[in-house]
Amino acid sequence: MQTTYDGLALEGLAREKFGLVVDVKQVLLADAPVSHTSTASVFLTKNKQLYVFVTGQARLNLGDIRKIITRMGLKAELFLPPRGEIDYFNEFARERFKEVYPGRSNVSDSDLAYYKTLTPYRPALVQIAEVKDGHIYQFDTDSADGWRSALSFSYRRIKTS
């Protein structure tokens, strides 16, 4: 019963915050800790796409979310921008770059790479390409490396044309 409510909540949040209509088939991991103040929910859609929804009290940016996804043992395919703003990460990076280098007019993607990681990104919705070693991890202060296996799950997205 709790999984149904979690699924409905995730569907609503994806639609409201990211402009993405998803149909949650199964919530694999609900509100798992991924830092001292942040949690993540991992869910599978009826189209067999795996997503992670990350939220918390701390200010998170794209660099933090990338690190969290990696430490969870996942490989990200797509970081969905808030409110469906397609160029959200690039616009923020371009603004910050112009503040630091106001005289530069010729800006390349490699110039913006660092500034993209500074983009505020809370809450975050990430489409997953694969679960690296068959385990999804969660934050745990009592373990040696700070992370422990929360779920055994195999997933690899195969791109089709």
Task: Give pLDDT tens digits for 79-94.
Answer: 999 987 899 999 999 9
The mean pLDDT value of the chain amounts to 92
* pLDDT class of 3 with cuts at 50, 70, 90: low
105-158, pLDDT tens digit by residue? 888 999 999 999 999 999 999 999 999 999 999 999 999 999 999 999 999 988
* pLDDT class of 160 with cuts at 50, 70, 90: confident
| Exposed / middle / buried, residue 118 (Cβ in 10 Å: 0-12, 13-18, 19+) | middle
* pLDDT class of 1 with cuts at 50, 70, 90: very low
CA distances in angstroms from 151 to 42, 148, 156, listed in the order given: 10, 9, 16
Rounded CA separation 35/45 (Å) = 25
